[in-house]
Each structure stands twice: as structure tokens, then as C-alpha cells.
Chain A
């Protein structure tokens, strides 16, 4: 048997000998480790989740009038012409124009507020998933998400009255009747926000012609090289800004998403320090209770290195077992926390705050390993500089 395995076997016996201490240590590390794991999942979770969401879409370049994030800046005017010009670029496969208006939806005595999207352009693929019924076909048809269908009791074939608010200054346009063609899921749907979509022309009618040629943004599908598409669009003679998915993520990372990383960094530091203290205290107390035994083993020929290795092995065992336990615990905790955070209104159903990625596991392991080493340092130092003769003497006197 190697010295390392001897030390581990020995440490295991020492742990089993004091089951209360071992349990306390392992559970402590498990709790702290679970929290640590979650903090690591949280630090990159939103970004990873958002990237996944974007990558699953049919388009990979987003075009707006200014640098503002999609949906928050001024509109693109003359959208039909712009879309046609963009669609003619060799690097572009298709272009969808998207205009978003606030809207009130009414059916019978029921009413709710939400948004109505108007889609134009050259793409035949729609940026949503059809759940029931049919896609938007002719004029006066819309598709609506589950939240809208549920709140108004709508289904394919029902009719709904829409009052659109098409600009900040004006009041709602006169009511227009739509037929519900189908129920769909939008990629950024949240469970309670009502979203519906129709053609650009039908939205223009609902807006009584107001801003008929405007779009909030264009969704462009490249032929495989979004960076080239972005460059091509920037070269068009319009005032446009184009972003690849990567650039959108980059902008989100610079913005609000960093809060999560900062919170996670602070909480990670706190939890790791707590684990460190807990294990150091447990090991130190246990070493101090065993000084006589340790001195006796040293007198019998255990080297300093070997006596210290036993302490390190104990630390590694406590942290290792606690760390293993912390993973399933962390996953459960992350699911619970994700559910709580997603109760915030407007959070897309498919966006997650805690997302597993292999790197989180590696960092978790590395941090716990560092904890095991650091926590063992002080008790190992006590053992290493233990004066054998004086300790044996003190043990007899006391």
C-alpha cells in the first residue's frame, strides 16, 4: 500500500471514530458546496441560457435603427425597402421585419393587455412555434400565445377585438376584429404576458395606417456567416445597426447580466470562507484532542510528513464526501431558486438563471480542493511542529 492510501485509510478510521464530528463536517461542506455550486451556475446561467435561446432561432442577425437594445430604440423607417435591400445581399438568406405595438385584446366581456407583432419581409419561416390551429394566413388573422388564449378563452377560429396603441403620443386606434388562426409559443414568451402576431399589413390596419412603413427591428437569417452579413448590412445606404447573436450576448453581458456575476462572486467567497473555517475548526479541535496519540506515533517512528498527511487526508475525506453530496443538493436547490426567480414578471419561460455547464463542475471541484488544502494547513502545522517529548510529558501530567 502506498503512503497516501495508508494515510487515507487511517483518516477514514479517525473519521468513523468520531461520527458526530465527521457528520457535522460532511453536512457542512455539503450545504456550503451546494450553495457554491449554485453560485457558479448562476454566474453564467443567464448568458448561457440566452445564447442557447438565440441559437435555436431561425435568424442570426438582428438589425435596429440605433445602438439601443432591440425593442427599446427608435424604429426603422421605410422597412419594406430596407428589407428588400437587405434580402438582396448575397450573404443573406431571408429577412423578417418586425413591428411591435401595445394592444388591448377583448373578447366578450374579457379583456387583457399585451403586445401585437406585425411581421413582413421575405422569410417564409415564422419566429414562433405553432401549438394548435394554423399559422397566420390571410388578412385579419393573428396567432396568439398560451397566456392570451388562456386569459380570453381563445382557440383557433375564435374572434378577438384588438385596440392597438401604435405610437407613444396617440391614443389607441379604433377597434379592429381579428380571427385567431392558431395558438403559438414565442421564443421569449413568459407565462403571463400576452403576445399576438399578425402580418405587417394587418398591424398597419389595426394602427389605422399609423407608422405603416416602420419596423422595430429586422430579423435576418444569414447564409452561415453572420459576421459577413453584419458587415454587408452596415454597408447599405441606410442608418442601421446590425448585431450577431454573439454581439447581442456581449451587450447583455456588459449590461445587467454582470450583476449576477458580482453577486455570485461575493456569495462564493463567503461560502468558501465558511467551509474553510468549519473544517479548520473541526480538524484543529480533533488534533488537539489527540496530541498524546500523535506524539506517541511520532515516538514510534511516524515521520512529521506522515503525521501531517493523516490530517490532510482527513480534510480531503470530509471535503470530498461533502462535495459529492453537495452536487445533488445543489441541483435541487438550483431548480427551486430558478422557479422562484422566474416568478418575476416578464421572464421568458425558456430562460434560466441556473444553467449547468461542465466548467462550473470543474471550478466547484477546484474551489473545494483548495478549501481542503487550506483548511488542513493550520492543523497540519500543529502536528508538524508538535514537540514529542514535551507532549508525552504533558499528557502524563494532565
Chain B
């Protein structure tokens, strides 16, 4: 079964100057371990769509099923717990907690999910090794470079072994070479079995995906599969 099954979803933002339709009748499925990129010009509605896929936002119309469950019908708390256990997020601006070390940042979602301390320390260590930052576990974000911070953020997103990893412009703040490393890391995450959806207007990053969706004006204009 698909992780996500969106049919005819729209997102309208009521604005003082009139409603803004960011996503218009998009239908889309995300299968287990699939690698998808969503690209398109600024303002075409990529982020609003991603937020709905990630269950931080709900459609104004249409239905979005996560694991067969209608996300709109879930309470805020149920949606939070769904995100905690099944979905990982990587942000353009990393959003690591500056007062915590790299390892503590990775432990945070695990603590929230009730993983015992010993186990979550082991898992954090393992994840930091996985993203190539085993030696920086006790460093704070301020002591890391942008690329390193994004790698810690990826480790954090993977902490509770999500089935789906979502990334909104994960290389947006990084130089080309560093962005390339992050892209390679994300490829590896996907190859190891986590479904991946990346939103970007960077064509090179998008074209690493097996499936590339191009959005325009709130719609999926074309879909390319390699």
C-alpha cells in the first residue's frame, strides 16, 4: 500500500485581499521507499503541497490518506504523533536547537517517542556515524558548518526510523559542493529504504529523483520518471 494517497487536494489560504489558492486539485501517491522530487518556479505551491504530505497542514478540499487514514479526520495530537513516528522533516534553515549538542538534537525526537536513554544514545551515535559526523557528536550547532548542521538535521529526521522523509529546499542555504554532499546523503537514505520527497527549484537536485513532478500555478504540470 502507498504511504500517501492524495486525491484532488487543494489548499486555499484566506487572505484579507481575497483567497489565495496555493494548491489546485493535486492527486498523487507516494509509495514505500520511493524517491520523488517536486520542482517548479517560486510561488507555484511546492511548500504548501509538501506541508500537506507531511501532515503539518490539511487540505482545504480533496482527501489525503496516510497509511489509508484520512489525515483531515485526525486530531492535532494524533497528527503530531503520526509525524513523530512516521515522518521526518529536513528544513532549508536546519532549525537545530542551539543549546543542544548534535547528539542531543538527534536524541530529542526519540525522547519524545519514549525511547529509553541508553537506546537513544546508541541510535544517535549510529546516525551521526551514518551522516559522517560521529566525531562531532558533542559539538553544538554553532560549532558546525552549514553542511554539517544539515547532516545533523537529517540524522535527527531519521531518529525514529520514519517511513517518509520530506525535505524543503535542503540545499537552499548551502554552496554547490556542500549541497552535492547533502544530495548524495539523501540518495543514500532513500537507497536504504526511506521514501523521500524533496522540494527544490534546483534542477540538478531534482533530477537525482526517480520521479520528478513539475508544478506550475498550484498544479502538477508534468511527471517524469526515470
Contacts and interface: CB of A to CB of B under 8 A. Distances in A.
A296 B89 contact: yes
Contacts of A305: 77
Given A301-B84, A301-B85, A303-B81, A396 B169 contact: yes
A6 B113 CA distance: 12
Interface residues of A, number: 26
A98 B87 CA distance: 89
Interface stretch (B31-39, B48-56, B183-191, B213-221): B48-56
A45 B200 CA distance: 70
Interface string B90-113: 011101011110000000110111
A16 B56 contact: no
A17 interface: yes
A13 B108 CA distance: 13
A337 interface: no
A14 B99 CA distance: 7
Nearest to A391: B56
B156 A300 contact: yes
A204 B92 CA distance: 99
Contacts, number: 83
B93 A396 contact: yes
Most buried by B among A1, A292, A306, A389: A389
Nearest to B116: A1
B143 interface: no
B50 to A, nearest CB: 9
B47 interface: yes
A252 B28 CA distance: 82
Contact of B80 (A16, A293, A302): A302
A293 B95 contact: yes
Given A304-B80, A388-B51, A396-B92, A299 B56 contact: yes
Given A298-B80, A299-B56, A392 B91 contact: yes
Interface string B63-100: 00000000000001100111111011101110101111
Contact of A13 (B56, B91, B99): B99
B148 to A, nearest CB: 17
Contact of B93 (A6, A16, A292): A292
Interface string A13-33: 110110000000000000000
Interface of B: 47-48, 51, 54, 56-57, 76-77, 80-85, 87-89, 91-93, 95, 97-100, 108-109, 111-113, 117, 156-157, 160, 168-169, 172
8 contacts: A14-B99, A300-B112, A300-B156, A300-B157, A303-B77, A389-B57, A392-B47, A392-B168
Interface of A: 1, 6, 13-14, 16-17, 292-293, 295-306, 388-389, 392-393, 395-396
